[in-house]
């Protein structure tokens, strides 16, 4: 069961732009002052009370603008590593002044923290807002880390040629996986048939023999449910190639 807050349930998670988590042994229903500041700045936020619940949400692939974590002490780096391995959402750590020196080199010790910033609780609202906006801009449409690829709710695992949609694992054929990867990497852009044939088949398939491309595209569209109802459209551009468009 998710212990989010009294006014939230899991269906409302995606309505929040920022996920707030506090490392504390005393999880209470009171609203943290930092979260009240987020509300005042116009950021809809979701407060999560346990690390277990936080990891469940992150592994669902919910696309928060950033994850704001209030630190209590420096012995939390292993937990931070677990959080980072579960999602590519940018992390904003709020650490007391006494912890800033020990946390400042966290990127060097844990290179998987690719999108991370640190502020102290006493920073003013303008600085807090700026840090959040700068972090969210680092959250590119597509992220790559240690063979894991993430785009929205789709998580690609190159080690198994599979794609995760939330908790659902979809196994693809090797060529289907490469094609899906290229489509998401170039989302909203036209991919010429020539590029698809070189990337997927490692050779240039003549237009008169391009049916293998069309079949592979059709299989990817069907298996990954790239349809308007799911917010995507995989379009054929006559005589040119294909484009995966993110709708809305």
pLDDT (tens digit, 9 = 90+) per residue, 137-167? 655 444 444 456 667 778 888 778 899 887 8
- CA angle in degrees (0–180, nearest 5) for 165-13-39: 140
For the stretch 195-240, pLDDT in tens is 898 888 877 666 545 789 999 999 999 999 999 998 899 999 888 8
Instruction: Indicate the DSSP class of residue 142.
Output: S
Cα–Cα distance between 2 and 5 in angstroms, integer?
Answer: 9
- CA angle in degrees (0–180, nearest 5) for 182-183-187: 120
Query: Phi and psi (nearest 5°) for 146?
Result: 50, 50
Tokens of 140: 């590119």
Burial zone of 146 (CB within 10 Å; 0-12 exposed, 13-18 middle, 19+ buried): exposed
- Nearest partner of 216 among 197, 190, 191, judged by Cα: 197
Q: Report yes or no: 138 and 90 within 8 Å, Cβ to Cβ.
A: yes
Cα–Cα distance between 226 and 220 in angstroms, integer?
Answer: 8
The pLDDT of residue 142 = 42
Q: Name the more confident of 162 and 49.
A: 162
Average pLDDT value for the chain: 76
Bridge-based pairing of strands 116-119 and 66-70 is unpaired
Average pLDDT over residues 130-138: 71
What are residue 118's DSSP bridge partners?
A: 93
Average pLDDT over residues 31-59: 82
What are the structural domains of the chain?
10-139 (3.40.50.2300), 145-246 (1.10.10.10)
- Claim: this prediction has a pTM higher than 0.75: no
Query: Phi and psi (nearest 5°) for 177?
Result: -65, -45
Bridge-based pairing of strands 66-70 and 91-94 is parallel
Cα–Cα distance between 69 and 46 in angstroms, integer?
Answer: 12
């Amino acid at each position: 069961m998710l212990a989010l807050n009294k006014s939230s349930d899991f269906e409302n998670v995606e309505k929040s732009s920022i996920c707030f988590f506090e490392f504390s042994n005393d999880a209470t229903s009171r609203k943290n002052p930092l979260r009240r500041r987020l509300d005042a700045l116009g950021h809809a936020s979701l407060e999560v009370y346990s690390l277990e619940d936080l990891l469940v949400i992150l592994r669902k692939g919910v696309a928060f603008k950033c994850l704001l974590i209030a630190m209590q002490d420096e012995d939390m780096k292993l937990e931070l590593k677990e959080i980072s391995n579960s999602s590519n959402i940018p992390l904003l750590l709020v650490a007391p002044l006494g912890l800033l020196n020990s946390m400042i080199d966290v990127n060097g010790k844990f290179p998987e923290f690719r999108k991370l910033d640190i502020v102290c609780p006493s920073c003013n609202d303008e600085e807090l807002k700026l840090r959040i906006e700068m972090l969210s801009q680092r959250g590119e449409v597509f992220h790559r880390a240690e063979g894991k690829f993430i785009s929205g709710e789709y998580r690609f695992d190159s080690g198994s040629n599979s794609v995760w949609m939330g908790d659902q694992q979809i196994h693809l054929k090797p060529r289907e996986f490469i094609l899906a990867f290229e489509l998401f990497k170039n989302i909203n852009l036209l991919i010429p048939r020539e590029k698809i044939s070189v990337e997927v088949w490692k050779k240039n398939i003549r237009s008169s023999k391009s049916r293998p491309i069309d079949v592979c595209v059709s299989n990817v569209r069907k298996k990954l449910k790239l349809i308007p109802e799911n917010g995507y459209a995989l379009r054929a551009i006559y005589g040119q190639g294909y484009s995966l468009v993110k709708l809305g």
